[in-house]
Amino acid sequence: MARRSTLLLPLFLACLLPALAPSTASAARAPWGMFGVGDWSWPTAATLDRESSRGLRRWRVVLDFTLIGRTAGVHDWAGTDGLMRELNRRGVVPLFVLKGCPARHCPTGKIPMSGQALADWKTFVGAAARRYGTGGVFWAANPTLTPRPLVYWQVMNEVNGAQEWPSPSAANYGAFVVSTSAALKAADRSAKVVLAGLPAIMTIWLKDYLPALYAQPGFKEAVDVIAVHGYAPSPAETAAVLDTARAIMLRHDDGATPLWVTEFAWATGGLVGDPFVVSESTQAAYLRAAGDLMVGCAARWNLKRAYWFGWRDARAPGTGYWGHNVGLTRFDGSSKPALAALDEFTRGVVLPGGRADTCPLPGGTQLDVVVPDTRVVAGPGARTADARPAYRFEATESPVRFECSMDGTPWTTCNPVLNGAWRPSSDLDDGVHVLRVRAVDPQGNVDATPATHTTIYDRYPPDTYLSGTWGNVETGSVALTLSSNEPVLQYECSVDAAPWRTCSSPFTATLTSGSHTVGVRAVDLAGNVDPDPAVAWFQVSPSVN
């Protein structure tokens, strides 16, 4: 765990919280070994005794190159060997997080990216696989242990955050994990690589970083497990993190690859108002709710493992950092209610009250990654005199909700409500207006290419002009040229107060002897009608020869 932003996640699944209540159907149980823990430090023998007796079989620990390789050319495995023996005797299998860099290579203690540092890193990870992997020298040297070769190796941690990977870069980590994977698998053909756990909100957000990783050469072939960190203000929003990651995987044709949550937790201490800080009772309730989702919706995400972080609160005087208070036990070693909640998942017992029997998320165990397409099927013409014109939308999926942006304003819900149509909430100003509409389906897929509709709102009527000869005339054959101060849809003419009829320029007519009037009015493209028509009068007086 690194310190991270306390920005809230996008809440597109926040509405699911009421759905997390247990069903009344027959209950499920967590698969063996699905749940584990991690911590700031390695577990003690007493801790392992307690939890292994309660069914815990997974523990996530750091294997630090900084310590193992602090002497050039020498790997110091003594401490790790001791940990492996303690874990093995209790049937607990570690997930090693490979990270760190000796000071001689990395003065800042971060990433061995190139040159001799990278060469020594690959030697280190290869040596770890040959020692603890299939047929490893550790197992040969400890014949009294039950061989449990390590298969999975996690390469670094939270690399989309600047605290763990300075100047985060999918291209740099992508190249690094491909190189590390090759070294591990050359040492042990059974080795599998777990992606560094990616939180949703870090220096580069998960939704941007993971797609960028898939674009890196060799990434998909090198990584066997995609891993995320499920930190979020609520269990429903933890589910949103998993949905985000799994949708990206599916869109990159990586659906067969499993997804792991290598850290998730809620804290019982920290700054007031921090979204990850809850009471001890809520921490336990959230652990149960998140665990139920992970069990009930495992098929939705191809989720295989989930690790709570951490085991025990860390001493952090004066920092106020919530991450130091995520333990299942308090700093004095006493248990919080959340520890009993975790036991329900590690013991493999039937979860009471119908919990986790089904997946309550939209779509259930089927994650929808199809993005809806949106169309505006009806709306005002190129010009309109309606200050609040009506629009009708449709999408390639149903049900969906629609979001609108008029002239670049923020997206707001604009579901049709009146006769299947939507209208702006306030009058349009004169001029050009562009409406953008996008559909959002129940699983949060958003149309990335919104539909658009352009119209000009014109509330001012046109002026109409006439040219030609009128007044006292000898012949009844008249011709008038019609014009306006703006583009027109049509002209309308009336002779001697007859009903208005569509006419065109030039307007011609044959008038009888006597007095006549011809009225002409323009109708503009918005449908506005000149309220003061142009009028020509005629006095037809044929000459007498």
Per-residue pLDDT band for 15 (boundaries 50, 70, 90) equals very low
- Do 265 and 313 sit in the same domain of this protein? yes
Task: Domain count for the chain, please give it.
Answer: 3
CA distances from 366 to 14, 247, 255 (A): 19, 11, 12
* 419 is a domain residue: yes
80 and 43 within one domain: yes
Whether 10 has a pLDDT exceeding 80, the answer reads no
Please give the pLDDT value at position 443: 83
| Nearest residue to 378 via CA among 370, 366, 386 | 386
Q: Looking at residue 11, what is its pLDDT?
A: 38
In this structure, what CATH number is given to the domain that contains residue 485?
2.60.40.10
Residue 310 and residue 449 in one domain? no
Whether residues 451 and 497 fall in one domain:
no
6 confidence band (pLDDT: 50, 70, 90): very low
Tell me the percentage of the chain whose pLDDT exceeds 70. Answer: 94
> Same domain, yes or no, for 389 and 330?
no
User: Looking at the DSSP assignment, which residues form a beta bridge with residue 62?
Assistant: 97
- Please write the tens of the pLDDT for every residue from 333-371: 999 999 999 999 999 899 998 999 999 998 899 999 999
Query: Where is the domain boundary, 289, 324, 354?
Result: 354
Is 196 within 8 Å of 158 (Cβ atoms)? yes
Q: Is the pLDDT of residue 19 over 50?
A: no
Say whether both 221 and 342 belong to one domain. Answer: yes
- Nearest of 448, 449, 480 to residue 466 by alpha carbon: 480
Q: Are 487 and 463 in contact (CB under 8 A)?
A: no
Q: What is d(CA 128, CA 96) in angstroms, rounded to the nearest whole number? A: 10
- Do residue 447 and residue 523 come from a single domain? no
- E-strand stretches of 312-440: 374-378, 383-384, 392-395, 401-406, 412-413, 431-440
Q: What DSSP state is assigned to residue 294?
A: H
Domain membership flag for residue 245: yes
CATH number at residue 348: 3.20.20.80
Q: Is residue 302 part of a domain?
A: yes
Q: Identify the weakest region by mean pLDDT among 71-80, 96-105, 154-163, 316-325.
A: 316-325
**Would residue 366 count as lying in a domain?**
no
Summarize the confidence of residues 29-47 as an average pLDDT.
95
- Residue ranges of alpha helices (H) inside 337-426 are 337-346
- Domain extent, residue 409, equals 374-457
**Phi and psi angles of residue 115, each rounded to the nearest 5 degrees, phi first:** 60, -145
pLDDT tier, 171 (very low <50, low <70, confident <90, very high otherwise): very high
* Predicted local distance difference test score (pLDDT) of residue 316: 59
- The DSSP bridge partners found for residue 241 are none
Q: Among 172-181, 185-194, 224-233, 325-334, name the one with the lowest average pLDDT.
A: 325-334
pLDDT recorded at residue 318:
54
Q: 453 and 471 share a domain?
A: no
Mean of pLDDT over the chain: 92
Based on the fold, state whether residues 183 and 250 are members of the same structural domain.
Answer: yes
The pLDDT of residue 7: 40
Sign of CA dihedral 429, 435, 441, 445: negative
Give yes or no: residues 117 and 77 share one domain: yes
The pLDDT, as a whole number, for residue 272 is 79
Q: What percent of the chain lies above the pLDDT cut of 90?
A: 82
pLDDT at 121: 96
Same domain, 321 and 177: yes
Instruction: Give yes or no for residue 21 having a pLDDT over 60.
Output: no
Chain segment 86-95, per-residue pLDDT in tens: 999 999 999 9
User: Has residue 183 been placed in a domain?
Assistant: yes
Whether 435 and 505 map to the same domain: the answer is: no
| Residue where a domain terminates, one of 457, 482, 514 | 457
Q: How far is CA 190 from CA 65, 140, 181, 182, in A?
A: 22, 17, 11, 12
User: What is the band of 237 on the pLDDT scale with cuts at 50, 70, 90?
Assistant: very high
Query: Is residue 429 domain-resident?
Result: yes
Mean pLDDT confidence for 431-437: 95
pLDDT of residue 9 exceeding 80: no
pLDDT for 17 beyond 90: no
Q: Does the pLDDT at position 3 exceed 80?
A: no
**Confidence category of residue 544, pLDDT binned at 50, 70, 90:** low
- Give the pairing type, strands 226-229 and 259-264: parallel
What is the Cα gyration radius of the chain?
Answer: 36
Q: Does 234 map to a domain? A: yes
Residue 359 forms part of a structural domain: no
225 phi and psi, to 5 degrees? -140, 130
210 confidence band (pLDDT: 50, 70, 90): very high
Q: How far apart are CA 134 and CA 190, in angstroms?
A: 7
Q: How far is CA 386 from CA 303, 403, 410, 418, 427, in A?
A: 53, 22, 23, 16, 9
Domain C-terminal end among 457, 483, 510? 457
- CA–CA dist 463, 343 (Å, integer): 82
Q: How many residues does the chain have?
A: 545
